[in-house]
Amino acid sequence: MNSPSPAPSPAINLRLLAAACGVSRMTVSRALRGHPEVSEATRKAVLKKARTMGYKPNGLVSVWMSHVAASKRAANRPVILYCASHSTIIPYERTVTLRKFLSGARKRAEECGFDVQEIWLNQPGFSPRRIEKILLTRNVPGLLFAPFEEPTANFPIKLDRFSAVAFNYSLKDPALHRVCHNHFHNVWITMLRLTEMGFKRIGMTVHPNTDRRHNHLLSAAFCRFGQVHGTAAASGLYIDRRPTDKEPFCKWARRYKPDVVLSNNNRTVDFVRETQLVPTPKFVHLDGEYCKAPAFAMLDQNSEMVGAAAVDLVVEMIKHNEVGVPVTPKTILIDGEFRLLEPG
């Protein structure tokens, strides 16, 4: 006669973990979430015991707790800081993409039971030491880093107590998880739509710093599309080192004779007219959020969706107590949409 199978071991829950650690369930819960009121020694001891006992958080409980948190007053919500680093506050406030990142992040954070507040890191008197003190004093569990002005920026503050996510590619050190516009895809679908509409000679202008900030994905997509589809030769890419000077652009355009020009510079539409090419090349704005010129089409980069996705990522990290610089950073890409503004 077969002996009965041994009863399965009970699932390790907060009550059992708390008993093993000799602390309350509330302390264990806060330690797992990296709550600032729990000492570093207690947090490490709880995490070590959780790994030893094979504790795994219940995803359904996390979802329910998020729902409960979302019903609380905003004043009681944990704060995620949106960190802006422009050299002066004026260009930051006038940068549409950064404001849309923030808007999308705030809407999504409210749904998740969090509050997003912004902080300008380059305001007078903000040394790295003071910034670190402010972050610790305010007990913020999560940080969102808006894009930096320089293409290869660094942030000299230790992040070992924070869940942190960067927007786009300009923050190089530390290498964090990031959420980005899908620049390669966006240029590719724009060129594909234009090719389907019958355009043969597609040109693109891009400032070298802009291309560097986007990890050279704009120029890479343009050149690779030309190789695959044979519609854009290498001469169709104009590296716009002097974006306010029309003469170099006009010289390039008269030589290449594009029938459509992609650019994120509103002045390009005036430069195109100055070439006196017949017919006048069409203008497609690669960043529709800044499109102030009469354009044939534009690319909507869905920046609010990027902001929402960044909050989703940092909230997931907070719930799993993922802090500091990741061993293997991951990148989430948000596709843009090609939009026709006048009949083809």
Helix or strand holding residue 239 (H, E): strand 237-239
Q: Give me the helices (H) in the chain, please.
A: 14-21, 25-32, 40-53, 59-70, 89-93, 96-111, 128-137, 183-196, 208-213, 217-229, 246-256, 268-274, 303-319
Q: 105-115 pLDDT, tens per residue?
A: 999 999 988 99
* Same-domain pairing of 205 and 239: yes
Q: Is residue 276 part of a domain?
A: yes
- Which CATH number covers residue 47? 1.10.260.40
* Same-domain pairing of 29 and 130: no
Range of the domain at 46: 14-56
Q: Is residue 146 part of a domain?
A: yes
Q: Is residue 240 part of a domain?
A: yes
* Same-domain pairing of 253 and 314: no
- Which CATH number covers residue 212? 3.40.50.2300
Domains identified in the chain, total number: 3
Owner of token pair 């004093």: 137
Q: 66-102 pLDDT, tens per residue?
A: 545 555 544 568 889 998 887 665 555 557 888 899 9
* Same-domain pairing of 294 and 190: yes
User: How sure is the predictor about 46, in pLDDT bands with cuts at 50, 70 and 90?
Assistant: confident
Q: Is residue 2 part of a domain?
A: no
* Same-domain pairing of 187 and 293: yes
Tokens of 256: 């290449």
Which residues, listed in sequence order, are joined to residue 251 by a DSSP beta bridge?
none
Q: 249-284 pLDDT, tens per residue?
A: 888 888 888 999 998 877 887 888 887 777 888 889
Q: Is residue 69 part of a domain?
A: no
Residue 67, Cα to own-chain centre: how many angstroms? 25
* Same-domain pairing of 95 and 36: no
* Same-domain pairing of 91 and 222: no
Name the pTM for this structure: 0.76
